[in-house]
Amino acid sequence: MKKTIITLEDVWKVYVMGHVEVAALQGVSLDVYQGEFVSIMGPSGSGKSTAVNMVGCLDIPTKGRILLDGKDISHLDESDLAQIRGKKIGFIFQQFNLLPTLTALENVSLPMIFQGIPADARAARAEQLLTIVQLKDRMNHRPSELSGGQQQRVAIARSLANDPEVILADEPTGNLDTHTGENVLDFLHELNRKHKKTIVMVTHDPHLAKRADRIILLKDGQVVKKL
């Protein structure tokens, strides 16, 4: 029997903008199972990034429940959410979000500082991860000295720093050309198949979404189809 690692139960997210309420999510319910590769797909404004923010403990719902490994995280305070994010979830963003003054090795090491890992162990782990993404020869280069594809691979390595159970990838190929984007998808597949990581990827691209085991389609803040 498949183990459920993430559950959203009737999740709503309502933003108040002046005198207007905007419902980004309207009663979203979904499950993500351990070890699977899921795409959350939808057009701009569909609520897909809001949904992944909920899954990633970056935000809390207006109402509804979110369970991570069976634990209700819907109403935790920010410090508790930060601890969960640091240990259980790795993030890959469209914009890479690398610190420009740090080398690839230092960027990958950064999340481990907040978990109290000693410097020698951080450096060894970061080098190991950069080797996995085929960037060992670039580990002392800063982001400005790397191509877009290389920067995204550094971001992938950084997402693995604390050996999280879940990798959340929000439009991870959005700033890359088609060929480089396919290479990044290949790395995500390897993490899923070889390293048994659960992958949740947000995309608006049907071609990329089809690379996943399962597609959850959002429209106007609601799940309209599960493929």
At 15 the pLDDT is 92
Sign of CA dihedral 219, 222, 223, 225: negative
At 167 the pLDDT is 93
Nearest to 205, CA basis, from 94, 56, 40, 25 = 40
**Percent of all residues in the chain with a pLDDT value above 70, rounded to a whole number:** 100
Using the predicted structure, report yes or no on whether residue 18 has a pLDDT greater than 90. no
Using the predicted structure, report yes or no on whether residue 143 has a pLDDT greater than 90. yes
Q: What does pLDDT average to over the chain? A: 90
* Burial tier of 204 (Cβ tally within 10 Å: 0-12, 13-18, 19+): middle
| Rounded CA separation 98/137 (Å) | 18
- In the block, tokens 């089809």 appear at 210
Structure tokens at 107: 């960027």
At 161 the pLDDT is 92
Please report, for the domain that includes residue 204, its CATH number.
3.40.50.300
Burial code of 75-114, b = ≥16 C-beta within 10 A, e = fewer? Answer: ebeeeebeebbbebbbbbbbebebeeeebbbbbbbbbbee
Taking only the tens place, the pLDDT of each residue in 44-96 is 889 988 998 888 888 889 999 999 888 898 888 888 888 888 888 999 888 88
Is the Cβ–Cβ distance between 143 and 96 less than 8 Å?
A: yes
3-class secondary structure, 39 = strand
- In the block, tokens 């963003």 appear at 93
Nearest to 85, CA basis, from 155, 30, 165, 29 = 165
**Percent of all residues in the chain with a pLDDT value above 90, rounded to a whole number:** 55
Using the predicted structure, report yes or no on whether residue 101 has a pLDDT greater than 90. yes
Cα-flanking dihedrals φ and ψ of residue 121, to 5°?
A: -70, -35
Taking only the tens place, the pLDDT of each residue in 186-196 is 889 988 998 88
Range of the domain at 209: 4-226
Mean pLDDT of 203-212: 87
Taking only the tens place, the pLDDT of each residue in 19-51 is 899 999 999 999 999 999 999 998 888 998 899
- In the block, tokens 């720093």 appear at 161
Mean pLDDT of 136-164: 93
Mean pLDDT of 138-167: 93
Neighbouring CB atoms inside 10 A of 220's CB total 14
- The structure's pTM equals 0.88
Mean pLDDT of 217-224: 92
Structure tokens at 163: 């050996």
Amino acid at 161: A
Length of the chain: 227
Total count of domains within the chain: 1
Mean pLDDT of 120-132: 94
Using the predicted structure, report yes or no on whether residue 227 has a pLDDT greater than 80. no
Between 107 and 58, the more confident residue is: 107
